[in-house]
Amino acid sequence: MRNLIDKYAVAAPRYTSYPSYPHWEGPPTEKEWFDNIGANPEIDLYIHIPYCEKLCLYCGCNRQITKNHELERPYLKLLLKEIEIYKRNLGHIKVNNLHFGGGTPTFISAENFDWFLNKLFKLVSKGAHFSGSFEADPRVTQEDHYRVLADYGLDRVSFGIQDFSENVQKAIGRTQPYSMVTEAITMARKWGYQSVNFDIIYGLPLQTQETIDDSFDKVQELSPDTVAFFSYAHVPWKIKHQKALEKYPLSQGREKYLLKIRGERRLVESGYIHLGLDHFVKPFDPLYQAYQQKSLQRNFMGYTTACSKTLIGIGCTSISDASNCYIQNMKSVSDYQNSINQGKLALENGHQLTLEEKTIRDTIQSLFCHQEFDLRSVADVYKCEKLKALIEKIAEFERDDLLQKKGSLYLLTEKGKVFSRNMAMAFDLKLRGGIRSGQFSNSI
């Protein structure tokens, strides 16, 4: 593995979309976007809350640091106006899945969540199999949050743990004692949340094999249903406040890989199943059932059982996906506000997919969600020389024991799951001109 890490630890896209965000060519018109969705759609709805009371130094999310809670109700009113724009253009909207992300969604008070969700479900209806989730910061989430959100049908919650070590927490600016997290889990279970997720990051300052072990001792005790265990992306040229973490040594390459392997082994030993990339689930979790049935999907929110063809993101910086097209809202709250108040969507970026791009996207989806791909389904996309280069690259992955051929399919080996982003790069025609320095984080 040492040689493979040295070989494949390179800058690589995360492939939450294909083409990757830096290769998007600009937003469609409003009419083109609504035409892509179609009338009376069933959707998954993502709602972005940008506010946080404190800055976490590792964070790369779009957020605004403030303790001014007078901002809550005006921002929620903007979200409702944006939904009204969609309803005016699309007709009746049915929501199958609802997710609150951020920022810190529970920056919003329980009272204001109650007000907002009451208004929201007068504008849209719930699908027959409605499900909902939110991201919770144990430091600010109160019991009333769990109660109110459960009242509206939300049944999943994700906690940003990152690491249980007190020293690591102090270094990254996110102190939340184990007792605080335990209380948060207890409240979530009390109010009937069916799935609890932990986000854990490896590669943070002051992490060691011992701190990773301690963190996963605590994960085992608290027994979340799913765990996202992912790499810290250190990109201070994009996210200036990450520069503050450089006063600590940051693990890289083999050292960072050993932290990853330590955590993954602990999860598997605790009964979790590795879905692929960074996600681990218990055998009874709906995500694993979807994986077994080959209905698992991956979008901008990660792995999902989503059954809707369209993901609509509302709020500043939210991203939407209508299968043939992506859009992103304006990142600035004030720019977003100005556009929505004029009755227009706040489109800032986007991309209309070609048939070739959709074929490659579907192949990468199969690689990440099912750990397999069929070369025949994508071969027509590549002209003679490009196809030859792709076949040579796949043969190299086979020699490195990352892929095994079975009939017309190529299957990822357990070792191959570590390098799936590298394999996705082999299909990425947008990378033929190379990767600019600082464009993407490291794959390991």
Which pLDDT tens digit goes with each residue over 357-374? 999 999 999 999 999 999
What per-residue confidence (pLDDT) applies to 437?
62
Let me know whether 340 and 367 are in one domain: no
The CATH code of the domain that includes 230 is 3.80.30.20
Let me know whether 197 and 65 are in one domain: yes
| Domain membership flag for residue 441 | no
Contact 306, 44 (CB under 8 A): yes
What per-residue confidence (pLDDT) applies to 386?
85
Considering the entire predicted model, what is its pTM? 0.93
* Pairwise CA distance, residues 121 & 107, whole Å: 21
> Which residue would you say has higher pLDDT here, 76 or 295?
76
> Which residue would you say has higher pLDDT here, 210 or 438?
210
| Residues 324-345: tens digit of each pLDDT | 999 999 999 999 999 999 999 9
- The domain of 371 spans 355-431
Q: What is the band of 176 on the pLDDT scale with cuts at 50, 70, 90?
A: very high
Of all helices (H) and strands (E), which one includes residue 86? Answer: helix 72-90
* Averaged pLDDT, 88-114: 96
* Pairwise CA distance, residues 82 & 37, whole Å: 15
What per-residue confidence (pLDDT) applies to 63?
87
* Pairwise CA distance, residues 429 & 259, whole Å: 32
Q: Using the Cα atoms of residue 232, residue 235, residue 238 and residue 244 in order, give the sign of their dihedral.
A: positive
| The domain boundary residue, chosen from 301, 335, 352 | 352
What per-residue confidence (pLDDT) applies to 335?
97
Rg value, the chain, Cα? 22
Contact 58, 245 (CB under 8 A): yes
| Domain membership flag for residue 345 | yes
Percent of the chain with pLDDT over 90: 76
* Helices (runs of H) and strands (runs of E) counted in the chain: 16, 19
DSSP 438: T
Q: What is the band of 384 on the pLDDT scale with cuts at 50, 70, 90?
A: confident
| Residues 255-298: tens digit of each pLDDT | 888 999 999 999 999 999 998 888 999 999 989 998 998 888 88
| The domain boundary residue, chosen from 352, 374, 393 | 352
Domain count, the chain: 2
Name 379's Cβ contacts closer than 8 Å, sequence gap at least 6: 387
What per-residue confidence (pLDDT) applies to 11?
82
* Averaged pLDDT, 403-430: 91
| Domain membership flag for residue 9 | no
* Pairwise CA distance, residues 158 & 142, whole Å: 14
* Half-sphere CA count of 421, side-chain side, radius 13 A: 22
Find which of 55-64, 108-117, 127-136, 301-310 is predicted with most confidence, using mean pLDDT. Answer: 108-117
| Domain membership flag for residue 4 | no
The CATH code of the domain that includes 410 is 1.10.10.920
For residue 438, cis peptide bond before it (omega within 30 degrees of 0):
no
* Averaged pLDDT, 100-105: 94
Let me know whether 229 and 318 are in one domain: yes
Let me know whether 345 and 427 are in one domain: no
